[in-house]
Amino acid sequence: MNNSQKILKMISGFIEAGLITSKDLRKEIATSLKFKKEDFVSKLDLVTKNEFIILKKIIEKQQKEINELKKKQKKLKR
């Protein structure tokens, strides 16, 4: 069942249950979409900006150390 069919089924269920007013219907749809959005975002496993900045600094530091070790290795080979 695709998303549009699910939404239509949900709307028909609301109408059958007596939630005919547009405000109630709009509120229910908004709530449903909000939960779907939150579920989707949680599956993405995103990081905060602070976590990203910290990881970026760690990687930059490690890259600098790698470059220094490569220079030392070249000197030792001579």
- For 12-66, write each residue's pLDDT tens digit: 777 777 656 667 777 878 888 898 888 888 888 888 999 999 999 999 999 999 9
Residue 19 has a pLDDT of 53
Residue 22 has a pLDDT of 67
Residue 29 has a pLDDT of 82
Residue 16 has a pLDDT of 72
Encode the chain in three state secondary structure: CCHHHHHHHHHHHHHHHCCCCHHHHHHHHHHHHHHHHHHHHHHHCCCCHHHHHHHHHHHHHHHHHHHHHHHHHHHHHC
- For 29-39, write each residue's pLDDT tens digit: 888 889 888 88
